[in-house]
Amino acid sequence: MTKRIFAGALLGSTLLTGIAQAQEVTLTIESWRNDDLSIWQDQIIPAFEAAHPDIKLDFTPSAPAEYNAVLNSKLDAGSAGDLITCRPFDASLALYDGGKLADLSDLDGMSNFSDVAKSGWSTDDGSATYCVPMASVIHGFIYNKDAFDELGLEEPATVDAFFAVLDAIKEDGGYIPMAMGTNDQWEAATMGYQNIGPNYWKGEEGRQALLSGEASLSDPEWVAPYEQLARWGEYLGDGFEAQTYPDSQNLFTLGRAAIYPAGSWEVSGFNTLADFEMGAFPPPVPNAGDECYISDHTDIGIGINAATEHPEAAKTFLDWVASPEFATLYANALPGFFPLSETPVEIEDPLAQEFASWRQECNSTIRSTYQILSRGTPNLENETWNASAQVIKGAETPSDAGARLQEGLASWYEPKP
Amino acid sequence: MPGTAVSSHAPRIRWHIVVFLAPAVLVYTAVMILPLFDTLRLALYDEVEGQRVFVGLENFRTLFGDPNWSRQFWNALANNFWFFLIHMAVQNPIGIALAAILSNPRLRFSGFYRSAIFIPTILSFVIVGFAWKLILSPIWGIAPGMLDAIGLKSLFAPWLGREETALTTLALISVWQFVGIPMMLIYAALLSIPDEILEAGECDGVTGFSAFWKIKLPLILPSIGIISILTFVANFNAFDLIYAAQGALAGPDFSSDILGTFLYRTFFGFQLQLGDPHMGSAIASAMFAVILIGVCLYLFGIQTRIRRYQL
């Protein structure tokens, strides 16, 4: 008899522990930010788990270049994690349309974001939002302050002043004027064309005109950035045709180049690598006194795998991601990634602060090729990479590049007025 | 009648043959044959409004008829032929020459050379691509320095970044990596030539170079044929090295784009370009056709005509 009670007690206890374990949920996060692994593990996850002891998080990033392919395969196979880090625009929109991402429009935390911030992860008509915006990146130029002091140079405000600075550095000969290569192509397009372009096409105004069909890529305001890029070639290092993105980063952080056309995501990496003082200036405007525009590009969001077994726990996490607490944590753990929430966030890193300050002075826009325009074949984003690299190398004239891109776009895109 | 006697003794099914073949056949079918046919099937479908529909040869019409696609396809195919040509013109002759030198009994340290030349073959493409990118880098590379040391700095150019030279450079890197394979196969073939034949040749006054041309080369021709077809198949399936060194856009200006990178970009997508499994499968099927035609040409046009000698 006692034996049976004991057995019953044993059975009961196993059942109880079983229930206790079932209440503790582990959420897996898919991401391409493998650089951020330690930040997630040491700062973000502990902060969340402290507030929500019943939810555990597992951050499992893959390599950036493979992320889209890997994620799509995993989603199709049903082995993807509960939370999906979202690329902006079409890659995520396709996932939402395919029923892979859950609709988050009625998530409480969504009210913390503006429509522009949500545009990267909303349907074309803005009726549904499927990812919580996490961060944007801002383009500009990072420069070596020591080199500028040594040569007596100032931050250039206009394009003419910019080339005067480049000429002065080139003449001195001690530094490569600008660190950029065309081997990887995207540098030329992202840090080149999309960096300086908004000043010419007037940010959102020009981008919307392109979407509505009022403007074309062969118009002067869209060709002008290529004309500036064509002049960059002579200021880049020897053999820039074979220079890769890591080469450019190293050239700058080793102090061999004076100016680096940058995205703000470089800030945290450069802070640890460079042993000189760095400054940053926004893309110079064509004429003194012109209104300035910056690319403040929605870059990272996070959404819920529609097939997750723990939708409630996932929503709890996303509500936390949408909160000012997460924004502050993320902005300071990863200087250079700027939160998109409307509550202002205190940023401590001086270089990141410099980038963020341009939001007050200049008008923000997103990269011109990202929303809607890269849906067809030929793919406008890929073509822009190619054209920017070709123009810098002098293998294609700016007007030819503009005409080629417009022809490719017009072959499939029907503007919706 | 003699026939009736035979039919009452129907031959027994030899189960052991089935049992022994089964593992290989099953595994090969599951991982090779089924995916192959599924890819061919997928090429005949397209996705319309979220539904997979049968479209017949429509994908192939797009691939060959739409200038946006056909231009890329023919460019990749032409690049692929150039890639193959370099291998045939450089890798295989060097492989044969190395094997001939190594099989010389008077050569010392031949085991060392053999290993040293073969080792790159077992390296990962990623390592090879990365190492050569560094070697040839105009910024940190040792290539400019080495050329400078012998006074030929002016010959240096950022080869991987120039349209005219990128593909040839990559092909030569691949040659460097794989020259060990033809060398080993030819070396084995050379070793299997009996000494008596060579000695008989010596008695007739055929020695040195002429012994190689007149006796050894005809005897190793079948091996050279096999190496050529292996090179052909490997080159038209190539992808890794170009992807590791130049990325999926196979720059500059698609000058190093081969069928493999074109397939990858289309099938899996790239940056903002979304993956299209159906067009990707169409490209994969075209690759399969190219390789099939090449192999058939070889099998029926060359293989059957090579004269074989009983050693």
- Closest chain A CA to residue B136: A242
Whether B1 shows a pLDDT value over 80: the answer reads: no
* pLDDT, average across residues A49-78: 87
Is A176 in contact with A256 (CB distance < 8 Å)? yes
Pick from A65, A183, A369: CB nearest B161:
A183
Partners of B159 on chain A (C-beta within 8 Å) are 242
Instruction: Report how many Cβ contacts below 8 Å link chain A to chain B.
Output: 113
pLDDT of the residue at A284: 95
For residue A301, which of A131, A67, A48, A112 has the smallest C-alpha distance? Answer: A131
The answer to whether position A6 is within a domain reads no
Mean of pLDDT over chain A: 89
Q: How far apart are CA B88 and CA B231, in angstroms?
A: 8
Partners of B269 on chain A (C-beta within 8 Å) are 68-69, 72, 91
Pick from A241, A251, A408: CB nearest B158:
A241
Partners of B138 on chain A (C-beta within 8 Å) are 237-240, 242-243
| Matching residue, tokens 């929503």 | A315
**Do residue A106 and residue A204 come from a single domain?**
no
Residue B292: burial class (beta carbons within 10 Å; 0-12, 13-18, 19+):
exposed
Could you give all domains of chain B from N- to C-terminal order, each with its CATH number? Answer: 58-305 (1.10.3720.10)
- pLDDT (tens digit per residue) in A377-386: 888 999 999 9
| Matching residue, tokens 């017949």 | B56
Q: Could you tell me what percent of chain A has a pLDDT over 90?
A: 60
- Closest chain A CA to residue B159: A242
- pLDDT (tens digit per residue) in B150-161: 988 888 888 998
Whether B8 shows a pLDDT value over 70: the answer reads: no
B162 touches chain A (CB under 8 A): yes
The contacts of residue A255 (CB under 8 Å, 6+ apart) are: A144, A146, A147, A175, A274, A275, A276
Whether A120 shows a pLDDT value over 70: the answer reads: yes
For residue A316, what pLDDT band results from cuts at 50, 70 and 90? very high
**Do residue A179 and residue A279 come from a single domain?**
yes
pLDDT of the residue at B98: 94
Contact between B68 and A411 using a beta-carbon 8 Å cutoff = yes
* pLDDT, average across residues B136-164: 88
Contact between B161 and A98 using a beta-carbon 8 Å cutoff = no
- pLDDT (tens digit per residue) in A326-376: 988 898 888 889 988 877 788 889 999 999 899 888 998 889 998 888 888
Contact between A382 and B161 using a beta-carbon 8 Å cutoff = no
Q: How far apart are CA B152 and CA B146, in angstroms?
A: 9
pLDDT of the residue at B61: 93
Q: End-to-end alpha-carbon separation of chain B, Å?
A: 47
Residue A410, min C-alpha distance to chain B (Å): 13
**Do residue A338 and residue A405 come from a single domain?**
no
B247 touches chain A (CB under 8 A): yes
CB atoms within 10 A of CB B32: 10
pLDDT of the residue at A166: 96
- pLDDT (tens digit per residue) in A154-172: 999 999 999 999 999 999 9
- pLDDT (tens digit per residue) in A185-203: 999 999 999 999 999 999 9
**Do residue A227 and residue A199 come from a single domain?**
yes
pLDDT of the residue at B187: 93
Residue of A264 and B305 predicted with greater confidence: A264
Q: How many domains does chain A have?
A: 2
For residue A101, what is the DSSP state? Answer: B
For residue B7, what is the DSSP state? Answer: H
Q: Which of the residues B240, B273, B279 would you substitute to probe the A interface, choosing the one with the greatest number of A C-beta atoms within 10 Å?
A: B273
The answer to whether position A415 is within a domain reads no
The answer to whether position A19 is within a domain reads no
**Do residue A260 and residue A183 come from a single domain?**
yes
Q: How far apart are CA A43 and CA A372, in angstroms?
A: 36
- pLDDT (tens digit per residue) in B112-136: 999 999 999 999 999 999 999 999 9
Strands (E), chain B: 45-48, 51-54, 269-270, 273-274
Contact between B268 and A237 using a beta-carbon 8 Å cutoff = no
Whether A10 shows a pLDDT value over 60: the answer reads: no
The answer to whether position A14 is within a domain reads no
Which of A324, A352, A380 is where one domain is finished? A352
Residue of A21 and A297 predicted with greater confidence: A297
Which of A327, A352, A377 is where one domain is finished? A352
> Which residues form the domain of A107?
25-136+297-352
Contact between B50 and A68 using a beta-carbon 8 Å cutoff = no
The contacts of residue A90 (CB under 8 Å, 6+ apart) are: A370, A372, A374, A375, B272, B274
Answer left, alpha or beta for residue A367, where phi above 0 means left and psi between -120 and 50 means alpha. Answer: beta
Pick from A242, A375, A379: CB nearest B138:
A242
Whether A19 shows a pLDDT value over 80: the answer reads: no
- In degrees, rounded to 5, the angle at the alpha carbon of residue B57 between the alpha carbons of residues B54 and B63 is 120
For residue A16, what pLDDT band results from cuts at 50, 70 and 90? very low
Pick from B246, B253, B273: CB nearest A390:
B253
The answer to whether position A9 is within a domain reads no
Q: Which of A65-69, A106-110, B33-37, B128-132 has the lowest mean pLDDT?
A: A65-69
The answer to whether position A146 is within a domain reads yes
- pLDDT (tens digit per residue) in B241-291: 999 999 888 878 899 999 999 999 999 888 778 888 899 999 999 999 999
B118 touches chain A (CB under 8 A): no
Q: How far apart are CA A273 and CA A407, in angstroms?
A: 43
Partners of A393 on chain B (C-beta within 8 Å) are 252
Is A352 in contact with A267 (CB distance < 8 Å)? yes
**Do residue A278 and residue A207 come from a single domain?**
yes
**Do residue A385 and residue A275 come from a single domain?**
yes
Contact between A390 and B157 using a beta-carbon 8 Å cutoff = no
| Matching residue, tokens 């994908």 | B59
Is A21 in contact with A77 (CB distance < 8 Å)? no
**Do residue A184 and residue A161 come from a single domain?**
yes
The answer to whether position A303 is within a domain reads yes
B159 touches chain A (CB under 8 A): yes
- Closest chain A CA to residue B166: A242
Q: For residue A312, what are its two tokens?
A: 């409630």
B50 touches chain A (CB under 8 A): yes
Mean of pLDDT over chain B: 89
Q: What are phi and psi of A370, to 5 degrees?
A: -80, -40
The answer to whether position A52 is within a domain reads yes
| Matching residue, tokens 């022809």 | A407
**Do residue A306 and residue A212 come from a single domain?**
no
Radius of gyration of chain B (CA): 25
What is the three-state SS of A157-189?
A: CEHHHHHHHHHHHHHHCCCEEECCCCCCCHHHH
- Closest chain A CA to residue B47: A98
- pLDDT (tens digit per residue) in B59-90: 999 999 998 899 999 999 999 999 999 999 99
**Do residue A388 and residue A254 come from a single domain?**
yes
Look up the CATH number of the domain holding residue A31.
3.40.190.10
pLDDT of the residue at B84: 96
Contact between A185 and B274 using a beta-carbon 8 Å cutoff = no
Pick from B133, B252, B269: CB nearest A182:
B252
Partners of B278 on chain A (C-beta within 8 Å) are none
Partners of B272 on chain A (C-beta within 8 Å) are 89-91, 369-370, 374, 379-382
Q: How far apart are CA B206 and CA A281, in angstroms?
A: 78
Q: Could you tell me what percent of chain B has a pLDDT over 70?
A: 96
Contact between B162 and A241 using a beta-carbon 8 Å cutoff = yes
Whether A12 shows a pLDDT value over 60: the answer reads: no
Contact between B271 and A389 using a beta-carbon 8 Å cutoff = no
For residue B44, which of B261, B234, B285 has the smallest C-alpha distance? Answer: B285
Contact between B269 and A69 using a beta-carbon 8 Å cutoff = yes
Q: Which of the residues A182, A236, A241 would you substitute to probe the B interface, choosing the one with the greatest number of B C-beta atoms within 10 Å?
A: A241
Q: What angle, rounded to 10 degrees, do the helices at B67-86 and B217-236 form?
A: 150
**Do residue A128 and residue A154 come from a single domain?**
no
Q: How far is the CA of A82 from the CAs of A129, A130, B244, in angstroms? A: 17, 14, 31
For residue A284, which of A113, A154, A115, A89 has the smallest C-alpha distance? Answer: A154
Contact between A241 and B161 using a beta-carbon 8 Å cutoff = yes
**Do residue A210 and residue A305 come from a single domain?**
no
Residue A115: burial class (beta carbons within 10 Å; 0-12, 13-18, 19+):
exposed
- pLDDT (tens digit per residue) in A68-78: 878 888 898 88
Residue A169: burial class (beta carbons within 10 Å; 0-12, 13-18, 19+):
buried
For residue A20, what pLDDT band results from cuts at 50, 70 and 90? very low
